[in-house]
Structure formats: structure tokens, C-alpha cells
Amino acid sequence: MTEHAHTTVLLHEAVDALNVRADGVYVDGTFGRGGHSRLILSRLGAAGRLVVFDKDPQAVALAREWAQGDARISVVHDGFATLSQALDGLGMGRADGILCDLGVSSPQLDDASRGFSFRFDAPLDMRMDTTRGQSAAEWLAQAEEQQIYEVIRDYGEERFARPIARAIVAARQDGCPIDTTGKLAQVAARCVRTRERGQDPATRTFQAVRIFINRELDEIRALLPQAAARLHTGGRLAVIAFHSLEDRIVKQFVKTHSTPPPVPKWALVRDADLPPPPLRAVGRAVKPSAAETAANARARSAVLRVAERTAAPFARDVFN
């Protein structure tokens, strides 16, 4: 297996936000190549525990190598949306901190065989977990034009989603299915009539198909309430998002659950009498420094949001 370099984004900012205790229980929802996990482990003592999740078989293989030499690590080959089920299976209740670095990793983008990038001509796969599910090529070979259009419009926010979807369907009807990254990039190049400065015309289409194939936004929506329910009082949730669709979900979740419930204007209720919310937003959204983005261009769109669990009950609390 060829290893591709990966620079962890917002490394210290994210791990510092967790306030790692030596004997605490922590979750790294996206192990990747272990950047955040390595720093968390350096702050854990012998009694601490770290549970790492990843869909990617290559990432899981690396995590299991680590776990062979470190009894503090438990590895889950699955997405972070299975958080509660996985912790139950490991006999764990609550955690002291949960960290998720969303999106695709540099090794996935830089490995042509994975089919994530329009920079290479390779089979159009795009699955984060290559052991299960439908590849992008398989989906594009049978999806209706309307569905392709909606995916590219909604997940890529692409203005030219309609002509791109139409061209994909026309190509397969002509016996030329869109089954490689090069073919999909060519379709986008023909259909995207104007583009943002410095952005390839295929960028939004590739993002949209990848998000859909991996159910990325659905998984974030499934994770957040589980994470809030699993945190001890004072435990922290730290999430790094890389595009507006992800960040919008995280921002709205934290806002909703860190704000007291609305009260009718006619109700004579003091603020002090309102039930406290189950989360507290910690600081403002954090973005990479100029130095970090200069050293790693892929960090430029990252946004870190942090929330802390309060003593107030959460709707999905089922743990002691």
C-alpha cells in the first residue's frame, strides 16, 4: 500500500478544546491517519481510553496496528453515525470528549485508485469504505436524471447541475457511461460555463457525488444527538467542517441545543426560571491561521466548532 502524506488540520486547536484528562474516555470519530488521535493519546494516562472510528480500510488497518501496541485504543471499522451502538458494544457509557474531523482526507484524494479526485483519470469509486456500498460509477449508471440533478444541485450547490445531469444520462444512452473520474471531469468542463477563480469546473460536481455516495450529511445529522447524549457533564464535542453544508448542520445543532426554549411573549417567566439547555457553545468558530493555510492549502475552508455538555438533560439521554 502506498502511503500518502496527510497534514492534520487544526490539530492543537481541536485537541486543546477537548480538555483531555489523563483518565478520561475520548472518541476520535474520523481516525484518518491518526493525527488527532496521536495527540490525544500523548495526553492520556494508562487508565485513559480512546475509541477511534473510520470507514476507510486503510485507516482502520493503521489504527489496528496502533491498537496492537496500546491497550488504551479500541478500533471501530464504521462511520461515526454508529457511535452509540459501538460504545454499547465496547461496554462504555459516556465519554469525556468527542472529536470529528469531517470530509475526505488527503490520502483519499491523493490516491488515484480511490476515484475521489478529478486530478487523475481512474475508476470512479468515491466510497470511503471500499468494502461495502455502491460506487459512484454504479450509481451514475442507473440513477434518473432528476435524482442526479438534485444531488449535484443540493450537495454541490452547482448552478449548472441540470446540464451536467442531462449530459451524464445522454452519455450512458450513447453507450459511454461515466465510469471514470476523467469522464466526469470532462462532462463538468463542458457544462460549467463560468467558474470561480482558481476552482476547477468539476469541483462542485465531485463534492456532490462524494457526499451522496457516502451519505456524509446524513451521518453528521445522526452523530450529533448521539454525541450530545453520550457526553459526561463538562464533556466537549469538537467538530471540524470543511464546507458550508457540513458547518451549517453543526452550527444549527449547537445553537438549537445551547439556547433556552422560546417562551411566548405573554408568558410571565424570568430568564432565570427557564430550563437550562443541554449544551453550551464554547467560544467562537475557529479557523486555521494564515500560517497553517499557507503551509496546507486544504486547511483554508476548515471551521472548528466546540460545545460543552451541561448538567441539563438532553432529549435522547438514556445513560446513567
- State the binding site: 34-36, 54, 80, 101, 108
Per-position b or e across 79-105, b if 16+ CB within 10 A of its CB: bbbbbbebbeeeebebbbbbbbbbbbb
Closest alpha carbon to 280 in 248, 251, 306, 303: 306
Assess contact for 145 and 166: CB atoms under 8 A.
yes
Please give the annotated binding residues for S-adenosyl-L-methionine, written as ranges. 34-36, 54, 80, 101, 108
Rounded Cα–Cα distance for residues 248 and 242 (Å): 11
Q: Answer for the pair 247, 303: CB distance below 8 angstroms, yes or no.
A: yes
With a CB cutoff of 8 Å and minimum separation 6, the contacts of 221 are 249
Compute CA distances 55 → 25, 79, 108, 301, whole Å: 21, 5, 12, 23
C-alpha cell at 51: 475509541
By CB atoms closer than 10 A (0-12, 13-18, 19+), residue 163 is middle
Amino acid identity at 242: F
